[in-house]
């Protein structure tokens, strides 16, 4: 398996920027996620790597060698799409064998390789079935298997499990991770689902409008987002933001919200946004603790935890409380905010002023 690199790569379609100045290294044996909203350039990066389009600027290397004008076949990368294109008239086994038949391998070698891959993916019992007789998850496995038989230099996956239902997605992402670990593959994986990216990736690149905003491990991206943009995209329920003003000495005052808090290490003065994750806010009964007074707006019980929506001035904040606590609508509570769990972003640019500690 191979290390992949994009250096200063840009791609334009007419005046539209698809991706701009992409510097990205995917290490050998790394599970690397490209995450971002629709049209942020995720798929363009895959297409550049695959050789379906050539960069207008910059360079791409695979396994240390510049690929230049090489076409998709010479690059030996395997692609798995969301819409798995299995041949409906061929059995699962014939679908798996197809890339090898196309390469005119010997029959015995093909049979052995298909058996080996089927074993790895736990699909041996399915080999004689037609795609129409397979479940969505089984079809996805066959599609991945078909990419796997070729022994490619790296895998590129474009939302490969997005079309499956929630339960199956949960299973498949564990399965993909297991495969990657056992087979030591390099995988570049595109998704718009932050939970999927967090769960599966060794590292994540967060994209915005054709550019990379942050690269890091899931924990780094979640705990230390480098901009309001990244903070907004990662985490469910989403992070809370309170717009206000930062004064000298690190004191933040909410604008439409009666909230005042001192953040050590927050320098400068001007418009700012305080950001805190729902699970980092505590709820105390009214009259206890020394937190900010708020009122219960709505309660969303989710079983393992409860999302408590509280109104604070003109704003509604989301608090994620463990377990199944009971509240009455309109009830007064106090919110416990730990300055060390709060981030501060610039009010206009969204740049980071100060991280949580």
Partner 1 sequence: MASISLTGLTKRFGDLTAVASLDLEIGDKEFVALLGPSGCGKTTTMNMIAGIETPSEGQILFDGRDVRLVPPNRRKVGFVFQNYAIFTHLSVRENLAFGLKVRNLPRAEVEQRVGAMAALMRLEDRLDWPTAKLSVNELQKVAIGRSAITEPEIFLLDEPLSNLDAAFRAFMRTELKHLQHQFQQTMVYVTHDQIEAMSLADRIAVMDLGVLQQYGSPIEVYNEPRNVFVANFMGSPSMNLVPCALTGGDGAYALDFGEGGSAPVDHDDLKRRCRAAREPALIFGARPEDLDLAPSGYTGPGIEATVTFVEPIGPRTIVHLAAGERRMKIAKGKHYGIELGAQVKAVLPPGKCHLFDAGTGEALGHA
Asked if 162 is part of the footprint of partner 1 (rule: CB under 8 A), the reply reads no
Q: Is the Cβ of residue 5 or residue 30 nearer to partner 1 in the bound state? A: 30
Instruction: Say which residues have a Cβ less than 8 Å from residue 49's Cβ, sequence separation at least 6.
Output: 4, 6, 60, 62, 75, 77, 154, 156, 188
Would residue 290 be called left, alpha or beta, if left means φ above 0 and alpha means ψ between -120 and 50 degrees? Answer: alpha
Q: Which is nearer to partner 1, 199 or 355 (CB)?
A: 199
53 belongs to the binding site for partner 1 (CB under 8 A): no
The correct pick among 31, 32, 222, 252 for binding partner 1 (CB under 8 A) is: 222
Number of residues that bind partner 1 (CB under 8 A): 41
Distance CA 154, CA 80 (A): 11
Minimum CB separation of residue 279 from partner 1 in Å reads 4
Query: Tokens standing for 315?
Result: 């704003």
Beta bridge partners of 187: 31, 155
The reply on whether position 30 binds partner 1 by CB under 8 A is no
174 binds partner 1 (CB under 8 A): yes
Q: Which of 320, 334, 342, 356 is the binder for partner 1 (CB under 8 A)?
A: 320
Query: Which residues, other chains included, contact 310 with Cβ-Cβ below 8 Å and sequence gap of 6+?
Result: 283, 294, 295, 296, 297, 316, 317, 319, 333, 335
Footprint (CB under 8 A) of partner 1, residues 180-219? 193-195, 198-199, 218-219
Q: Does 177 bind partner 1 (CB under 8 A)?
A: yes
Per-state percent for the chain, helix, strand, coil, to nearest 5: 30, 35, 35
- Of the pair 11, 139, the CB lying nearest partner 1 is at 139
CA distance 341 to 223: 9
Among 58-66, 111-119, 146-154, 173-181, which window interacts with partner 1 (CB under 8 A)? Answer: 173-181
> Considering beta carbons, is residue 269 or 316 the nearer one to partner 1?
316
Q: Is there binding between residue 355 and partner 1 (CB under 8 A)?
A: no
- Cβ–Cβ under 8 Å, residues 343 and 231: yes
Answer for which of 42, 141, 203, 277 binds partner 1 (CB under 8 A) is 277
Q: Is the dihedral of CA 158, 218, 209, 315 positive or negative?
A: positive
Residues in the chain: 357
Tell me which residues touch partner 1 (CB under 8 A): 37, 165-167, 170, 174, 177-178, 193-195, 198-199, 218-219, 222, 232-238, 277-279, 297-298, 300-305, 307, 309, 316, 318, 320, 324, 329
């Amino acid at each position: 398996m191979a290390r992949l690199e994009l250096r200063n790569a840009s791609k334009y379609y007419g005046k539209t920027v698809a991706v701009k100045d992409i510097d990205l290294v995917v290490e050998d044996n790394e599970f690397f996620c490209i995450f971002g909203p629709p049209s942020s350039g995720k798929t363009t990066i895959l297409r550049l790597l695959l050789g379906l389009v050539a960069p207008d600027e910059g360079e791409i290397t695979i396994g240390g060698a510049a690929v230049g004008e090489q076409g998709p076949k010479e690059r030996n990368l395997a692609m798995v799409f969301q819409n798995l294109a299995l041949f409906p008239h061929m059995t699962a086994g014939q679908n798996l064998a197809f890339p090898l038949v196309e390469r005119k391998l010997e029959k015995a070698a093909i049979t052995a390789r298909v058996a080996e891959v089927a074993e790895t993916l736990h699909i041996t019992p399915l080999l004689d079935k037609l795609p129409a007789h397979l479940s969505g998850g089984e079809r996805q496995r066959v599609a991945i298997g078909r990419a796997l038989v070729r022994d490619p230099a790296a895998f590129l996956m474009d939302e490969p499990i997005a079309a499956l239902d929630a339960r199956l997605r949960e299973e498949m992402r564990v399965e993909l991770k297991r495969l990657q670990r056992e087979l030591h593959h390099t995988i570049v994986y595109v998704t718009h689902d932050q939970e999927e990216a967090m769960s599966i990736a060794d590292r994540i690149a967060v994209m915005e409008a054709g550019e990379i905003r942050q690269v890091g491990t899931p924990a780094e991206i979640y705990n230390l987002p480098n901009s309001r943009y990244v903070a907004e995209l990662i985490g469910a329920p989403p992070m809370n933001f309170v717009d206000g003003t930062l004064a000298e000495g690190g004191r933040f005052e909410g604008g439409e919200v009666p909230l005042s808090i001192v953040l050590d290490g927050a320098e400068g003065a001007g418009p700012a946004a305080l950001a805190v994750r729902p699970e980092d806010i505590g709820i105390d009964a009214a009259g206890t603790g020394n937190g900010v007074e708020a009122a219960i707006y709505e309660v969303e019980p989710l079983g393992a935890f409860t999302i408590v929506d509280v109104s604070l001035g003109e704003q509604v904040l989301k608090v994620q409380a463990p377990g199944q606590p009971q509240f009455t609508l309109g009830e007064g509570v106090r919110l416990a905010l730990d300055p060390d769990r709060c981030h501060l972003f610039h009010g206009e640019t969204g740049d980071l002023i100060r991280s949580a500690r």
